[in-house]
Each structure stands twice: as structure tokens, then as C-alpha cells.
Amino acid sequence: MWKKGIRVIVSFVVVLLVWQIACTVTNANATLFPSPVKVGEEFVKLFTQGLEGSTSHVTLPGHIRISLLRFATGYVLAAVSAILLGLILGSLPKVFQFINPILQIIRPIAPVAFLPFIVFWFGIGDVPAIVIIFIAGFFPILLSVVAAVQHVDGIYYKIANSFGVGKVKTLFGIVFPAIFTQIANALRLALGTSWIFLVSGEMVGAQSGLGFLIMDSKNCMRFDALLATMITIGVIGFILDGLLRFAEKAISTKIGFGV
Amino acid sequence: MYIDVSNVSISFEENKEQHTILNDVSLQVEKGEFICLLGPSGCGKSTLLNAMAGFLKPSSGEIKIDGQTVEKPSMKYVTIFQNYGLLPWRSVQKNVELGLETKKLGKEEKKKITDHYLEMVGLKEAAKKRPAQLSGGMQQRVAIARALAVEPEILFMDEPFGALDAITRMKLQKDVLKIAHETDKTVVFVTHDIEEAIFLADRIVIMSANPGKIKSIMKVTLPKDRDRTSDDFLLMRDKVYEIFQMKEERNIEYFI
């Protein structure tokens, strides 16, 4: 644990040092190539006062809060609906054969491509970002859950049949826990992509949030603010992944897979 | 006749080729009998068991239990599998309760039944543990307790001890025999282990492969409390060897 922490610190210190030295030595344009010190200063400013010259007076914690709320809404909706639908479609292979081709066509379309429609239908605000996150999370989770249900060990069905367990209870009480590990993996992958697409959703369809802050910094030609926001996005994504991993581990230990 | 398998054939089609797994098998089992289906892999012994347990429909012929045609699995005849089929996310106790949940029993009653059968298989202490914390032999004991808990009349056992080490296997054989007698169950037990079959069975159904059929049925004329090292036991074993070797002798003639 300690060794890991030290390695992380060392790699960050080296990157920051190289970055700072490069800025000082080359005497580059401070606006186009902001130094880490400048980014750090701007980060503190964003945190306390918000972006200078922006139309919005929201500070960085405000943007983070808005983004996280949107993210939570879209991601939880996507996860719950995709898991439910995946369990059902997975146990109806004949129906899934009809639905699968459609899913396979929709899946490769970047979620952002839906944006114009969404913005025109729902207007600018929370909804476009939430819908983008939903689309980004829904399809990968759905397809993983369907595949997991279809490949669940046949013995579970035999056991359920032997002991008179009903269809619904078999699906939620036996198949669902049996594929928990695969579901957890799918949730983690989807968490990453959803967080990435949150930013793109907010870049176009919102007047607040971290994605908006990226666009706002660009429009104000404030590359130090831009970098500070980018780093914030990366750190939060990393923390979210860590939280989910922690939750996954705790649950699998609790339900007996971790023994 | 309690279990009546009459002229059952099972075949399936793959790449437009017809594969026959079981060819015209007939077998009658009396109530309370312990039957072993013995044969090499590919002889269709597990397929026959799966058909009797209602997991598989015969392509032709009919299987009746207690006068009723078998169409689907039922709690009247529970199957025990080689890989236990325990639910790893449930405690031992909750695993044994699985079949009782559909019976809509009260919490107290469920616990009473579960305790009774866990005690019968010698695992009362492990009630709170997870399957993953138990050895293979103990896991199979949990599966047996789970099957007994719904009070079936027949136990179908599909190579239940195939994944266990020899000593654990012998212990479990002894216990299963005792439990079957105590609870008065009819048992159909699939195995490829000749000694296991002789130790357990009242009658051994010897099967051969390609296509799977019954080669002969042998009555085991040994006392209930069997001794693996006794002369009678070894004689019985020789008899089974003979039946299996008939085929080899034919092969030798062929090569000469």
C-alpha cells in the first residue's frame, strides 16, 4: 500500500517538474502553454471565485456538484434499466435474436451524435447531458448482462426446476447473483465511458457543469482554467472508479464470492 | 412397478446427422430399491438419469413414475449433481432452505427441517458458512441435505462423488447408503466406478456405448452391510469385470 502510494507521488512529481522546467526553459507563450504553477493558481481561483470573464458565476465545486448530479441520474437510470432489461432479454433468446441486430446498429453510433435531436427536443440544460450519459452507459451494460445470462451455468436452471423455484424468482434470486461478477465488470466499464461522455454532453447541451467549464475556458482563451478543469475531470473519474471497485468488492465479499 | 422406463430412445440431430444416445432402453425399478447405472462414458447413463428426472424428453418411449408420465422435474424426485449446484451467495442453511421456500413454510418450521437434515449429513456446525468455505465432500453433503429437506421419494444421483478423493468418496458412499435406508428412499445412482456400484446397489444396470443401451442387469447378492475387502465382494467385482471384458475378448479375436 505504502509502496504504491510512493510510486504514485513520484510519477506525479516527475511529470510536474518536467512540465514546469519545459515552460521555464523554452520561455513559451504563457497563455498557450500554462505552467503547472499557473494552472495551480487558476485552480484555486476557480475553486473560490469561478472563471473570470465567464457568463456564469458558478465556482468549480458548483460545477462539480451539477455534473455529478447529472452523472448520477443518467448512470443509475442506465444501470437499473439495462440490468432489468438484460436479465429479461437474456432469458428470452428468441426475442433477443430480433432485438440484437437493432442494438448492434445503434451501439457503434457515438452518443454525442444524438445531441442535436436531444437539444431540439428537450432544450439546453440537464436533460441532454443526462440522456447522453444514459445512452453511453445503457448499451454496454445491456449487452454484457444479456451475454452473461445466456452463458450462466445450466446447473442453476436445473436446480431451480428441481426445487420448484418460479421463473421470476429464478431470474432475480438465482441468475442475478450468479452473474453478479459480470454485471459488476460491465458497470465499471460503463462508468468510465459515461463519465467521458458527460463532458461531451455538457460541452454542447448545457450552461453549467464541468463540460461547460471546458467550453467556457476555451471561449475565454483561458488555457490554464481549461487544464485545471481537465485535471479535475480526470481525478473525479478516477475516484468514481475507485468507489465502484470498493463497492463491488464489499458486495461480493458479503454475498460469498470473496471467500 | 414404481419407476417404469419403457422402450426409451433419445437422439438428437447435429449437422444433419442423427446421433443416437440411448437406444430402446427399458428398466423397471421397485420402490425403495437402490439402483446403480454403471458404464463407460458415452453409454448414455447420465442421459437416462436426466430423462428419468424430467430434465430431458425421450425421443420415443415413455417414463412413468408411480403411474404418472414424467414431463418435468418435481420435488417428488430430486437430482444431486456431480458439481453440487450450491448457490455460492447463500449460507449452507439458506441453501438447504431453497426447496422449502416454495413450500411456503414458516420460518421456525424451515429451520427445524434444515437443522434435522444438516444433522443427518453431519454438518450442523457449518450452517452459517458459505459453500466456498467447505471442502468438496462437505459441499456435496449440503446438496444431499438440500435434496432430503423437500422429502422426495426418489433421489437421482448423477456421479455425485466423481469429483471427490477416494477416501472422502468411500465415507460418503457409506453415509448415503445409511441415509437411503433410514429415510426409505428409492435411489438411482449413476457411476463409472465398479466398486462404488457394488458397494451401493441392490441391482446394477450395466450399460454399453454406441449407441447407449442396457447390456445386462445384475443383482448384487451381498448383505446390506458390505465389506469391500470380503471375498464375496471381490467375486462380485470379478463378475462385473467379466461382463465388461466380453467386448474386449471379441476385439482380440478380431485382431488375430
Last residue of a domain, one of B151, B175, B197: B151
Contact state of B87 with A156 under an 8 Å Cβ cutoff: yes
Burial bucket for residue B146 (CB in 10 Å: 0-12, 13-18, 19+): buried
Residue type, A201: G
Q: What is the pLDDT at residue A259?
A: 45
Count up the domains in chain A and report the number. 2
Q: Select from B128, B151, B174 the last residue of a domain.
A: B151
Could you tell me if B29 and B108 lie in one domain? no
Paired sense of beta strands B154-158 and B186-191, if any: parallel
Whether omega before A177 lies within 30 degrees of 0, making that bond cis, reads no
Check CB contact under 8 Å for B102 and A166: yes
SS3 state at B5: strand
User: Where does the pLDDT of residue A119 fall: very low under 50, low under 70, confident under 90, or very high at 90 and above?
Assistant: confident
A53 shares a domain with A29: no
Suggest the residue from B49, B89, B93 to mutate for an interface test with chain A (most A CBs closer than 10 A): B89
Q: Is the peptide bond before B211 cis (omega within 30 degrees of 0)?
A: yes
* Residue B76, min C-alpha distance to chain A (Å): 9
| Mean pLDDT confidence for A154-166 | 92
Same domain for B167 and B227? yes
A61-88 per-position pLDDT tens digit: 999 999 999 999 999 999 999 999 999 9
CA–CA separation, A80 and A82 (whole Å):
6
**B248 vs B246: CA distance, rounded Å:** 5
Q: Is B82 in CB contact (< 8 Å) with chain A?
A: no
Question: Would you call A182 an interface residue with chain B, using a CB distance cutoff of 8 Å?
Answer: no
Give the gap in angstroms from C-alpha A177 to the nearest C-alpha of chain B. 7
pLDDT at residue A257 tops 80: no
Q: How far apart are CA A179 and CA A156, in angstroms?
A: 11
Range of the domain at B142: 85-151
Query: What pLDDT was estimated at residue B252?
Result: 53
Burial degree of B61 (CB within 10 A; 0-12, 13-18, 19+): middle
We report the CATH number of the domain holding residue B31 as 3.40.50.300
- Taking only the tens place, the pLDDT of each residue in B100-129 is 988 888 889 999 999 999 999 999 999 999
pLDDT at A255 over 80: no
The answer to whether position A242 is within a domain reads yes
Same domain, B21 and B32: yes
Rounded to an integer, the average pLDDT of B240-256 is: 63
Q: Between A237 and A31, where is the model more confident?
A: A237
Cβ A259–B132 below 8 Å, yes or no?
A: yes
The residue segments making up the domain with residue A52 are 46-254
Is residue A41 situated within a structural domain? no
**pLDDT confidence of B246, banded at 50, 70, 90?**
low
Angle at B50 between CA B49 and CA B52, to 5 degrees: 65
Of B73, B88, B130, the CB nearest to A162: B73
Contact B74 A174 (CB under 8 A): no
Q: Which residues pair with B77 in a beta bridge?
A: B74, B154
Residue A215, pLDDT > 80, answer: yes
B99/A contact by beta carbon, under 8 A:
yes
**What's the mean pLDDT in B44-64?**
94
Question: Chain A residues with CB inside 8 Å of B101's CB?
Answer: 163, 165
Residues B140 and B169 in one domain: no
B78 → closest Cβ in A155, A162, A256: A162
Q: Is the pLDDT of residue B153 over 90?
A: yes
Domain shared by A13 and A70, yes or no: no
Distances (CA, A) of A109 to A104, A126, A196, B172: 10, 22, 15, 58
Interface check B88 vs A, CB under 8 A = yes
Residue B254's pLDDT is 54
Q: Looking at the structure, tell me whether residues B194 and B229 fall in a common domain.
A: yes
DSSP 8-state symbol, B74: B
- Say whether B29 sits in a helix, a strand or coil: strand
- Helix axes B136-149 and B166-183, enclosed angle (nearest 10): 10
User: Which residue shows C-alpha cell 448530479?
Assistant: A69
Question: Which residues of chain A lie closer than 8 angstroms to B53, CB-CB?
Answer: 162
Rounded to a whole number of angstroms, the CA Rg of chain A reads: 22
What's the full length of chain B, in residues?
256
CB contact under 8 A, B98 and A159: yes
Q: Do A25 and A97 share a domain, yes or no? A: no
Strand partners, B102: none
Whether B129 and B140 map to the same domain: the answer is: yes
Supply the mean pLDDT for chain A.
90
**pLDDT tens sequence across A40-53:** 999 999 998 888 88
Q: Which residue type sits at B180?
A: A
pLDDT value, residue B247: 47
Are B68 and B94 within one domain? no
CA–CA gap between residue B47 and residue B21 (Å, rounded):
8
Distance CA B59, CA A130 (A): 54
Substitution target from A153, A156, A163 for chain B, most B beta carbons within 10 A: A163
pLDDT at residue B221 is higher than 70:
yes
Q: Does some domain include residue A168?
A: yes
Return d(Cα A44, Cα A228) in angstroms, integer.
9
Inter-chain CB proximity A155 and B85 less than 8 Å: yes
> B198: burial class by Cβ within 10 Å (0-12, 13-18, 19+)?
buried
Whether A180 has its CB under 8 Å from any CB of chain B: the answer is yes
Partners of residue A159 in chain B, C-beta under 8 Å: 85, 87, 98
Is the CB of A158 less than 8 angstroms away from the CB of B73?
Answer: yes
B144, B239: one domain? no
More confident site: A245 or B15: A245
Domain presence at residue A40: no
Number of domains in chain B: 2
User: Residue A110 is inside which H or E element, if any?
Assistant: none
Residues of A in contact with B79 (CB under 8 A): 158, 162
Residues A93 and A13 placed together within one structural domain of the fold: no
- All 3 cell numbers of residue A62? 458548483
Q: Does A220 touch chain B (CB under 8 A)?
A: no
Q: Is the pLDDT of residue B255 over 60?
A: no
Is A71 part of a structural domain of the chain? yes
| Pair (A1, A69) in one structural domain | no
Task: Note whether A20 and A112 are same-domain residues.
Answer: no
State whether B165 and B44 are in the same domain.
Answer: yes
Q: Do the beta carbons of residue A74 and residue A196 sit within 8 Å? A: no
Indicate the residue among B103, B127, B151 that finishes a domain.
B151
Residue indicated by cell numbers 425403495: B32
Same domain for B68 and B176: yes
Q: Is residue A39 part of a domain?
A: no
Nearest-by-Cβ selection for A257 from B78, B88, B98: B88
Helices (H) and strands (E) in chain A, counts: 12, 0
Q: Which three cell numbers stand for residue A108?
A: 457503434
Same domain, yes or no: B62 and B181: yes
In terms of domains, do A21 and A103 share one? no
pLDDT of residue A256: 64
Question: Do the domain assignments include residue A259?
Answer: no
| A52, A24: one domain | no
Residue A169 lies in a domain: yes
Q: Are residues B55 and B165 in the same domain?
A: yes
Grid coordinates representing B249 are 475378448
CB < 8 Å to B83, chain A: 155
How far is residue B69's CA from residue A121's CA, in Å, rounded to a whole number? 60
Phi/psi of residue B158, nearest 5 degrees: -100, 95
Looking up residue A200, the CATH number of its domain turns out to be 1.10.3720.10
Neighboring chain B residues of A259 at a CB cutoff of 8 Å = 130, 132-133
Residue B98 touches chain A, beta carbons under 8 Å: yes
Q: Which three cell numbers stand for residue B220?
A: 448384487
